[in-house]
Amino acid sequence: MRDTPSSPFSAHDQVVMAQALHWAEQAIGLTDPNPRVGCVISDGRGRVLGTGHTQQAGGPHAEVMALRAAQAEGHDVRGATVHVTLEPCAHHGRTPPCADTLIAAGVGRVVAAVLDPNPLVAGQGLARLQAAGIPVAHGLMADAARELNIGFFSRMLRGRPWVRLKVAASLDGRTALPDGTSQWITSAEARTDGHAWRRRAGAVLTGIGTVREDDPRLDVRLVHTQRQPLRVVLDARLDTPPTARLLEPPGDVLLVCAAEALQTPRAAALVRPHVTVQPVRTDASGWIDLPAVLDLLGQRGINELHIEAGQHLNGSFVRAGLVDEYLVYLAPRLLGAGRDMAAFGPLAQIDDATPLVFTDLTRVGADVRLMARSATGFGAPA
């Protein structure tokens, strides 16, 4: 199946799918590694019978939650229309196929915003519904549904997470003074907003330099969350201090190192129940191979990777062409000399600059939040 509208959509379809997307947003910070999905069941008169969103991994999917809500209210869903932001699944995972559940419930029509990129589904859910005699349609508000799950699409289609690089800087692009002092360049509102983006991610990544200089926690504290992202440190030699705050609960920690570092006493000092030490390949200079890190995180089910690092690691990701999206907070102040957003070396000519497209400009407290993406890569604006 091609992910394009296969039938006309009514004004009612538009309204109800917007409601389903709202429900899907409630799943942010809860469902990883599963996608964020919302579902609304309505009757022929436009009355909503049941709503829901996907729960934590292993829990009920959006369609099941909406059916349960309808049942709790005593509603009969036979012949009803189901609007869901992602194609109902057709495979047995931790839960039974949602397509089969909808067939058993006797619904009359299913409208999906976008097809599931998971090769185990990929059109098979709607095909199963059609085979059961249930009319289906897809493509309504597909762009919004895909954006909500951009990381899931990235992992399914590329085998690696969507990489978002976050920077807080002065108006002249400095992230710290020459001595590394950076607290606080941006406002409290911007820091809270940054935690909301951490909550969205499956993992937050930094380098050993930031750990040793700033001793960050990298957890989600300033906004409510039901799940802490995995905290990842790129630390080839395992120089992370055993007393680092980042190693403390809540949440799990992944220390990525070179294989030879596992044989050092430092490795044993870092062992604890919620900390995993994982070797990956390195280059001739002993630097951790960044594509290998993304492959590892993809295998661990990370959909969105949120990077909060220093100028050198940022520059390495930029230079390797691995950043999908830039999340930049600019403060209304000038620092002059200081540390850059990303140090990746001089360019020979202007045409060598990485082409980006701004996707958002928002005032956050006293600061401005800019968002930009690669103009040509995965997820580039149409």
Report pLDDT digits (tens) over 79-126.
999 999 999 988 766 677 899 999 999 999 999 999 999 988 888 999
pLDDT tier at 306 (50, 70, 90 boundaries)?
very high
Tell me the per-residue pLDDT of 266-278, one tens digit each, with 9 for 90 and over. Answer: 998 998 899 999 9
Tell me, letter by letter, the H, E, C secondary structure of the chain.
CCCCCCCCCCHHHHHHHHHHHHHHHCCCCCCCCCCCCEEEEECCCCCEEEEEECCCCCCCCHHHHHHHHHHHCCCCCCCCEEEECCCCCCCCCCCCCHHHHHHHHCCCEEEECCCCCCCCCCCHHHHHHHHCCCCEEECCCHHHHHHHCHHHHHHHHHCCCEEEEEEEEECCCEEECCCCCCCCCCCHHHHHHHHHHHHHCCEEEEEHHHHHHHCCCCCCCCCCCCCCCEEEEECCCCCCCCCCHHHCCCCCEEEEECHHHHHCHHHHHCCECCEEEEECCECCCCCECHHHHHHHHHHCCCCEEEECCCHHHHHHHHHCCCCCEEEEEEECCCCCCCEECCCCCCCCCHHHCCCEEEEEEEEECCEEEEEEEECCCCCCCC
pTM of the model as a whole: 0.91
User: How much is the mean pLDDT over the chain?
Assistant: 91
305 has pLDDT over 50: yes
Q: Does 297 score more than 60 pLDDT?
A: yes
Share of residues in the chain with pLDDT > 90 (%): 74
Instruction: Among 105-109, 183-187, 245-249, name the one with the lowest average pLDDT.
Output: 183-187
**Distance of alpha carbon 27 from its chain centroid, rounded?**
12
Structure tokens at 4: 């394009």
Catalytic positions, please? 63
User: Has residue 368 got a pLDDT over 80?
Assistant: yes
- The confidence score (pLDDT) of residue 339 equals 85
Residue of 176 and 372 predicted with greater confidence:
372
Q: Which of 370, 29, 356 is nearest to 197 (CA)?
A: 29
pLDDT band, very low/low/confident/very high, at 17 (cuts 50, 70, 90): very high
| Mean pLDDT of all residues in 196-204 | 97
Give residue 93's pLDDT: 66
Average pLDDT over residues 360-370: 96
Confidence band (pLDDT; 50, 70, 90) for 5? very low
pLDDT, tens only, 217-239: 999 999 999 999 999 999 999 99
Compute the average pLDDT of residues 304-314: 94
CB 156 within 8 A of CB 117: yes
Q: Can you give the pLDDT at residue 183?
A: 77
The pLDDT of residue 92: 64
**Contact of 210 with 307, CB cutoff 8 Å:** no
